[in-house]
Structure 1
C-alpha cells in the first residue's frame, strides 16, 4: 500500500531539513525498515515550504510506530523547523488522496543500481538506492581458484552462473535499472571471438615467474610506466608474456584482450571495450604521462588486441535481450563500463577541491593512494607505483596485502585496547611479511617476536591490529602525509586500527568511511551521475595516553625493520 501526506516546514529551514535527512540516524532507518516501510520519498515545494512524502508499506501499524522511542526523539529533534501537532512533537500533516495514475511500471519495486563487485576473496552484488546511493542490500559468496587444467585459473563459468542466478532472485523485489562493475586488477581475458582462447589466469600463480629473467629485459622502464616489477602475475604484462610463450598456438588465436571489469561488461552487454584504471594499474602496458600504450606493449603487438578505450563509467548499452529474458531484468537495464576496485574507492574524492587527500582502500590488499600527490616520491623497490584514476591521471600509490596479513596474524577473538596495551608495553613485535605477493617487504619472511610470552587469543588479534597500523603508517610516510586521510573498506570498521593510526598520524585527520563498501559506492556513482551519493565519514579519535608508548614502539619496530634490511643487503 502507498501512503502519501503533506507536511509544513518553517520558512528558511529548507537547507537544514535536507541536511538532517542526509544524516538520518541509522537506528531510525532500521526502525522504519522493521515496520516494512520502503520506497520513501519526500519532495519540497519551496514556494510554500511544503513537504510531500510518499512511501510503501504493507500492514503498517502507525500507532505503534508513533510510540517508538527513536521515532519520538526524531520528532523532537525536528520540531524546531516544522509545524507540529498541538501537545506533541509529531509533525502536523494531512493525507493526500490519489486522483490519477498513468503508465505505472513496477511501482512497488525499489529502484536500485546493482554493482558487481568481484574481489579476489569475495564476490558481491551490492544494491545501491538509485536516488540516494545508500546501500540497500549485499549478496556475497567466497571466491576461489581452480587448480586443474592448463594452469590455476578463475572459474568464470561458475561466477557467471552465480551472477545470473542472484540477479534472477532479486528481480521480484528490486527494479534494477542499471549495472555497474568493479573488480580486482592484474587480470584479463584472452578472447577468441566471443569465447575464451585461454583460461583466465590467476595472478597468484608462482609458475608465471618462470619467465621473470627474460621478461625483465623486455619490459618498459619504471620511468615510463610507473609499474614496478612484481612477483607472480601481478604485472599483467608478465601474465600475457608467459601465456604467449607457454601456449603460442592458443595465443596466436587471440582476437581481443579484455581487462577483467570489461570481460563482465562484455558478457552483460555484448560490447568489447577497454578502460584506463585497469590498464594503468601496475601492468607494464600503459604510459600514464603520455596516456598511451607503453613501448613494450607496442613491441609485442598487444596494443592492437585491446579494444577501443572507452571512458570509465560510460554506458556500454543495454543488457543483452536473451539475458534480460533469462533473469527477468528490464530490457532497458543499462550496463556501464567497469573500474578497477581500488580506483573505485577514489571516485567520491577525485573531484574535491583539496590540495591532497590520502585514501586507504582496504580488503585483501591495502592500497594507499594520494590524490594530487607527488610522483617523485615513488620507489619501485618498495612496491610503489602510479595508479591511473577514472580521469586518466597518474596517482601515487603504495600497497601491501594488509587484509591477508591481518588474517594470518589474528585469532577468532577480537582484541581490546587493553590487549593492544599489552602488546605495546611488552614489546611484542610482528615483523613483515606474512603474505607473498607484494608490499614494501615482500621479499622477507614474516616472524613474531613474542619475547617468550604466550599470547591470549585477544592479544594475538591485537598484535594483528598493531601490525597493519604500523605498516599503513610506514607506507603513508613513504608517499608523504596529507592533511586528511580516509579509510575505506574492511579496516574502516576496525576501531583498534583506526585509533592506532590516528595516534600515529598527529598531523593528519583520519576519517573512517561509514559506507559499507567504498568500491561499490564509487562504481555506482560513476555510472549514475544523478546519484546524490555523499560519502559518510566519521573522525577517528586518537588515544593521548597511548601515544608516548606507541611512538616508542614504532621507533623500535622501525629499527628492527632497518636491521632486517641491512642484514639482507649483500
Structure 2
C-alpha cells in the first residue's frame, strides 16, 4: 500500500531539513525497514512557500504497516524531537503535523510493490557476481555469486560463455521476482575480447592466462608500439590484448578473416543484453597495445593491423546502450524498460567514486585477483615499463599512472584456511620468515622471478601461514606505492579493505601517508552503479587504518631485510 501526506516546514529551514536527511540515522533507517517501509520519497515545494514556510510532500510504500508501533519506538521519538525546531509539530509528542493526501489518479505504475534497484553484473577473473543496489540510495541489498572457471579444451583455454550466460539469466530471473530491476550496469576484468561474426562468436573468447600466445612473441614484439606511445608494458601470456589478437589472426586465419567486429569484454555482455555494440576507453586503454592514452585514440599498431576498423564507436563509460532485448525481458521477467549501460573495466570502476572529487591527486588501491594501484591526476613521469607500470585510462578518458601485481592470487596461494591474528604476524616478524616474490606469473614488478619462502627451518601453523600471506601482500603494496607518484591519502578498495592485518602493516610502513579502508563492500560494483546512475547517493565511507606501535620496530627491521633481498632480484 502507498501512503502520502503533506508536512509543513518553517521558513528558511529548507537547507537544514535536507542536511538532516542526508545524514539520516542508521538506526532510524533500520527501524523503517523493519516496519516494511520502502520507496520513501519526500519532495519540497518551495515554489509555493509563504511567510509561514514551505510544504513537504511525502510518499512511501509499506505492507501491513503498524503505524502505532512505528511511532512509539524511542528512535522515532528522538528523531521527531530532533526535527521539531524546523517544522510544524504536535505540541506534546513532537510528531510532525502530517495531513493525509487522497489518491485520485494512477497511471502506468510498474510493480509498485517491488524495490527499484540497479543490478550490477560484475565478472571478475575469480568470481562472477550480480549485486543489487537500491535505485535511490545506492545501498547494497543483495549479492549473488558463483566461481568463474575457464574451459580448458580446444581450440585453446577459453571463457565458458554459455555457462556464464545461463547463470546470469537464471539469477536475474530469480531476483526479478522480488525486485524491480530498472537498469543493469556492467564491470568485468580486462585483457579479454570477443571476436564477433555478426551476432555470433567467430572464435571462442581466449583466456588471457594462456601461455600459447607467446608462440609468435618475437614477431609481435617487432611490431607492437613503444612504451612512450601506448604506455603498455610487455606482459606475459595474453595480458596484452594486442598479442591475443595477433596470435589468433596467425593461428586461425580462416575464422579470423570472418570477424566483422571486436567487442571488449564488458561490451560483449552489454551486447548480449541490449543487442547494441559499442567500445569504451577504460578497457581499450588497459595494457592492450591498442590505445594511445595521451592522445585518446587507437595506437599506430592497431591502425596498421586494421583492427581499429572492427571496433564499434567508442561510447562514454556508463552511457546508455539501450533497453534490454524484448524477448530476453520476457524470458527473464525483467521490465521492458530496463536500461543497459556501457560497461567499464573493473579496476577503473573502483576509481569512479573519486574521480570527481575536488582533490589534486588521490591514490586508490583496488584489490581483487589483481592489486591495482592508480593515482588519479598523477604524473606519468615515474612509470617504468620493466616494473609492470602503465598508464591506465579512467572513465573520463584521462591517462592515469598505475602499477599492479597479482595480490589476491598470491595471497590465496600463500594463506591457509585459518585466519591470522596480530600475534601470528608478530611471530613472522620476530623469526624473520620471509616470502620473496613472485608466486604468480601473471605480471607485476617481479613477474620474472620465482617465489620462494625463507622459513628458517620452522614449520608454520595454519594461522602463521595466513599471517605470512598478509605480510607479503602488505610489503608488495608498500613497494609498489614507493615506485608510484603517490598522494598523501591512500584509499584501499575491495578484498584487502577488510583485512585488518594488511591495513595495520601498511599504516605502520607508510607514516608519510594516511591509509584509509573503504567501508563500502560493493567495491567495483558500486563504482559501476554510480557511473550509470549519477543520482545515487554513494558517500564513500572510509575508516582510517592505524599503526600498531608494538609491531612497528620489528616491522621496520623486517621490511629492510625484505627490501634488500628483493633489490637483488631486480639486478
Aligned equivalent of 1:476: 481
> 2 CA distance for matches of 1:521 and 1:512?
15
Aligned equivalent of 1:94: 98
Aligned equivalent of 2:187: 182
1:524 pairs, out of 526, 529, 546, with 529
Q: Is the 8 A contact 1:112 1:178 kept in 2?
A: yes
Aligned equivalent of 2:265: 260
2:461 pairs, out of 445, 456, 465, with 456
> 2 CA distance for matches of 1:98 and 1:196?
55
Q: Is the 8 A contact 1:488 1:517 kept in 2?
A: no
Q: Are 1:39 and 2:43 matched, yes or no?
A: no
Deviation at 1:564, TM superposition (A): 3.2
Aligned equivalent of 1:250: 255
> 2 CA distance for matches of 1:87 and 1:418?
56
Deviation at 1:24, TM superposition (A): 4.1
Q: Which moved more, 1:410-419 or 1:63-72?
A: 63-72
Three-state SS of the structure 2 residue aligned to 1:376 is coil
2:109 pairs, out of 105, 110, 113, with 105
2:381 pairs, out of 376, 379, 385, with 376
Q: Which moved more, 1:187-196 or 1:504-513?
A: 504-513
Q: Are 1:392 and 2:397 matched, yes or no?
A: yes
> 1 CA distance for matches of 2:420 and 2:485?
30
Q: Which moved more, 1:391-400 or 1:16-25?
A: 16-25
Deviation at 1:475, TM superposition (A): 0.7
Deviation at 1:15, TM superposition (A): 4.2
Three-state SS of the structure 2 residue aligned to 1:230 is coil
Deviation at 1:505, TM superposition (A): 1.9
Q: Is the 8 A contact 2:6 2:101 kept in 1?
A: no
Deviation at 1:329, TM superposition (A): 1.8
Taking a change above 3 Å as real, the CA distance of residues 235 and 256 of structure 1, as seen in their structure-2 partners, is same
Aligned equivalent of 1:226: 231
TM-score with structure 2 setting the length: 0.92
Three-state SS of the structure 2 residue aligned to 1:364 is coil
Q: Is the 8 A contact 1:225 1:294 kept in 2?
A: yes
Deviation at 1:249, TM superposition (A): 1.0
Q: Are 1:2 and 2:2 matched, yes or no?
A: yes
Taking a change above 3 Å as real, the CA distance of residues 82 and 426 of structure 1, as seen in their structure-2 partners, is farther
Taking a change above 3 Å as real, the CA distance of residues 22 and 508 of structure 1, as seen in their structure-2 partners, is farther
Aligned equivalent of 2:288: 283
Deviation at 1:230, TM superposition (A): 0.4
Taking a change above 3 Å as real, the CA distance of residues 63 and 452 of structure 1, as seen in their structure-2 partners, is farther
> 2 CA distance for matches of 1:44 and 1:458?
56
Taking a change above 3 Å as real, the CA distance of residues 211 and 334 of structure 1, as seen in their structure-2 partners, is same
Deviation at 1:36, TM superposition (A): 2.7
> 1 CA distance for matches of 2:54 and 2:431?
62
2:331 pairs, out of 312, 326, 335, with 326
Q: Is the 8 A contact 2:80 2:96 kept in 1?
A: no
Taking a change above 3 Å as real, the CA distance of residues 446 and 69 of structure 1, as seen in their structure-2 partners, is farther
Deviation per CA, 1:447-484: give whole Å up to 9, x if none.
Answer: 22232333232222222222111111111110122121
> 2 CA distance for matches of 1:495 and 1:93?
47
Deviation at 1:254, TM superposition (A): 0.7
Q: Which moved more, 1:38-47 or 1:340-349?
A: 38-47
Q: Are 1:557 and 2:569 matched, yes or no?
A: no
Q: How does 1:408-423 map to 2 (within 5 A)?
A: 408-423=413-428
> 1 CA distance for matches of 2:12 and 2:462?
56
Q: Is the 8 A contact 2:280 2:344 kept in 1?
A: yes
Deviation at 1:141, TM superposition (A): 1.3
Taking a change above 3 Å as real, the CA distance of residues 505 and 84 of structure 1, as seen in their structure-2 partners, is farther
Three-state SS of the structure 1 residue aligned to 2:185 is strand
1:428 pairs, out of 433, 438, 449, with 433
Aligned equivalent of 1:126: 131
Taking a change above 3 Å as real, the CA distance of residues 251 and 29 of structure 1, as seen in their structure-2 partners, is same
> 1 CA distance for matches of 2:22 and 2:507?
26
Q: Are 1:445 and 2:450 matched, yes or no?
A: yes
Deviation per CA, 1:300-348: give whole Å up to 9, x if none.
Answer: 1111111122222221222212112222222222221111111111112
Aligned residues: 565
> 2 CA distance for matches of 1:330 and 1:551?
57
> 2 CA distance for matches of 1:173 and 1:195?
32
> 2 CA distance for matches of 1:14 and 1:486?
34
Q: How does 1:309-388 map to 2 (within 5 A)?
A: 309-388=314-393
Q: Is the 8 A contact 2:36 2:62 kept in 1?
A: yes
> 2 CA distance for matches of 1:213 and 1:75?
73
Three-state SS of the structure 2 residue aligned to 1:375 is coil
Q: Are 1:306 and 2:336 matched, yes or no?
A: no
Deviation at 1:512, TM superposition (A): 1.6
Q: Are 1:116 and 2:125 matched, yes or no?
A: no
Deviation per CA, 1:42-83: give whole Å up to 9, x if none.
Answer: 334554365544332223345555566666666676677667
Q: Is the 8 A contact 1:82 1:91 kept in 2?
A: no
Deviation per CA, 1:67-106: give whole Å up to 9, x if none.
Answer: 6666666667667766776676x64453624332320412
Deviation per CA, 1:363-407: give whole Å up to 9, x if none.
Answer: 111110001111110111111001011121110000111111111
TM-score with structure 1 setting the length: 0.93
Structure 1 gaps of 5+ residues are none
Q: Is the 8 A contact 1:7 1:91 kept in 2?
A: no
Deviation at 1:252, TM superposition (A): 0.9
1:163 pairs, out of 135, 144, 168, with 168
> 1 CA distance for matches of 2:315 and 2:83?
46
